[in-house]
Amino acid sequence: SQQGEEDPQALSIQEGENATMNCSYKTSINNLQWYRQNSGRGLVHLILIRSNEREKHSGRLRVTLDTSKKSSSLLITASQAADTASYFCATAYNQGGKLIFGQGTELSVKP
């Protein structure tokens, strides 16, 4: 069964705008990860946030984690057309354990 649920399922924005995607999960986790998948390609790891962390940044990406609400958000600032892809959150119960993926958010950035 899927652990994470992403919201929204699809998001369409203009280039330069910010994009926010949310992920909720059901049980306690060790870490949460975000991945990007371009059409017809494999997944690319974007960022990992551990259960004792609240916020992480990587370039134009900002991830937050609220373990009390069992939720995470991914913010992409100043979006570019090249950011068009599907974004997945994945949760791990324990270090070294399997990742369980959500259904993904399909992001479309229009030039």
**Which parts of this chain interact with other proteins (CB under 8 A)?**
2, 4, 30-31, 33, 35, 40-45, 48, 50, 88, 90, 92, 95-96, 98-104
Of 31 and 84, the one with the shorter C-beta distance to other proteins is 31
Nearer to other proteins, 43 or 76 (CB): 43
Q: How far is the CB of 88 from other proteins (least distance, A)?
A: 5
- The residue (of 1 and 111) whose beta carbon lies closer to other proteins is 1
Listed in sequence order, the residues at least 6 apart from 39 whose beta carbon sits closer than 8 Å to its beta carbon are 85, 86
- For the bound state, the minimum distance from the C-beta of residue 66 to other proteins, rounded and expressed in Å, comes to 18
- For residue 89, give the nearest of 20, 5, 13 by alpha carbon: 5
Question: What minimum distance in Å lies between the beta carbon of 92 and other proteins?
Answer: 6
Cα–Cα nearest to 87, from 102, 71, 109, 72: 102
Task: Return the beta strands (E) in 1-111 as ranges.
Answer: 5-7, 10-14, 19-24, 31-37, 43-50, 55-58, 61-66, 71-76, 85-92, 99-101, 105-110
The smaller minimum CB distance to other proteins, of residues 20 and 37, is found at: 37
Question: Taking the complex as a whole, how short is the minimal distance between the CB of residue 101 and other proteins, in angstroms?
Answer: 4
